[in-house]
């Protein structure tokens, strides 16, 4: 599943602010809509969605947690890619003028007046799309953004003290903090030298501050490398070449040389250095 750095990279590409951006949806007016699988829409019937979204113009593209947020001229389009979702911005026709066919697992397509098309490819059908007048309908219960200035070490420590949960499941809880997933949680806990099953309310102020710094460090590094490409869904990232523990079972720790171990924490595969991350 794309995590915060991957979703941030996609948002920047679609907004035309990323170095890799070729096309942009900013300022584009939606001319036509194809709903190829109705289950993609989380809160509308296809006919209602099409009627409402047509002729709206894209004002901005941003990210909230793992959600992509398209601010339109009247409403807001929100997309969650989940396990296998992908967005593809392309020209509708090729150089010969022939219409470029949609892909097998495309579930939704927005055609813009400038001749471009945004296709939502969703192989496993887990991804969802919302069209809302108020983003609170979807985003209200998300936790704070880990990179936001408003989240300081004192507040983060207070948040941790309010729970008695294991660190890894808590950090992956989108109601606690938004955007963290399996990869970046493992990497952040490693950098903070904290064991993933350590209880959150046992952390000292110093450990909490170190964990917040580590979370920000791995997320910012992930964004710099355009996220991580580790499966067939998300491509183009390079952060997988800089993992310290994730997916490195049996390999030596970059710091102490101890073999990386794989555990199961909260039903998720978890990678640690038993030398650096002691209970």
Active-site entry in 8, 63, 64, 66: 66
CA angle, 83 as apex, 77 and 84 as ends, to 5°? 80
| Distance of alpha carbon 273 from alpha carbon 275, whole angstroms | 5
Active-site entry in 3, 6, 8, 187: 3
Which residue intervals of 117-243 are DSSP H helices? 136-139, 153-161, 167-171, 182-191, 205-224
| Distance of alpha carbon 14 from alpha carbon 264, whole angstroms | 36
Count CA within 13 A, CB hemisphere, residue 216. Answer: 16
State both tokens at 54.
């047509």
Question: Is there a catalytic annotation at residue 66?
Answer: yes
Closest CA to 106 of 122, 130, 124: 122
Q: Length of the chain in residues, anyone? A: 279
Question: Is there a catalytic annotation at residue 101?
Answer: no
Closest CA to 245 of 169, 187, 160, 176: 187
| Distance of alpha carbon 62 from alpha carbon 228, whole angstroms | 19
Active-site entry in 54, 57, 165, 268: 268
Q: Could you tell me if 88 and 104 are in contact, meaning their C-beta atoms sit under 8 angstroms apart?
A: no
Question: Is there a catalytic annotation at residue 95?
Answer: no
| Distance of alpha carbon 211 from alpha carbon 216, whole angstroms | 9
Q: Which residues contact 5 (CB under 8 A, 6 or more apart)?
A: 184, 219, 222, 223, 225, 226, 227, 228, 237, 239
Question: Is there a catalytic annotation at residue 261?
Answer: no
Q: Could you tell me if 198 and 166 are in contact, meaning their C-beta atoms sit under 8 angstroms apart?
A: yes
Active site residue ranges: 2-3, 66, 268
């Amino acid at each position: 599943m794309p995590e915060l750095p991957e979703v941030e990279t996609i948002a920047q590409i679609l907004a035309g602010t990323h170095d890799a951006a070729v096309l942009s949806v900013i300022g584009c007016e939606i001319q036509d809509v194809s709903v190829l699988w109705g289950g993609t829409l989380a809160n509308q019937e296809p006919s209602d969605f099409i009627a409402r979204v047509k002729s709206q113009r894209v004002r901005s593209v941003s990210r909230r947690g793992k959600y992509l947020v398209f601010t339109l001229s009247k409403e807001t389009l929100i997309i969650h890619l989940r396990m296998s979702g992908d967005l593809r911005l392309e020209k509708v026709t090729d150089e010969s003028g022939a219409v470029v066919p949609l892909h097998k697992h495309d579930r939704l397509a927005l055609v813009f007046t400038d001749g471009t098309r945004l296709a939502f490819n969703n192989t496993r059908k887990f991804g969802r799309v919302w069209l809302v007048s108020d983003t609170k309908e979807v985003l209200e219960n998300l936790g704070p953004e880990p990179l936001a200035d408003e989240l300081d070490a004192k507040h983060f420590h207070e948040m941790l003290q309010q729970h008695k949960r294991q660190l890894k499941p808590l950090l992956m809880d989108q109601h606690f903090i938004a955007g963290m997933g399996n990869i970046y949680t493992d990497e952040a806990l490693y950098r903070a030298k904290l064991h993933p099953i350590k209880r959150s309310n046992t952390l000292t102020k110093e450990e909490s501050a170190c964990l917040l710094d580590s979370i920000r460090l791995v997320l910012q590094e992930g964004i710099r490398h355009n996220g991580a490409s580790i499966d067939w869904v998300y491509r183009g990232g390079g952060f997988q070449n800089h993992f310290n523990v994730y997916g490195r079972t049996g390999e030596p720790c970059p710091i102490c040389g101890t073999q990386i171990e794989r555990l199961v924490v909260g039903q998720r595969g978890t990678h640690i250095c038993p030398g650096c991350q002691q209970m």
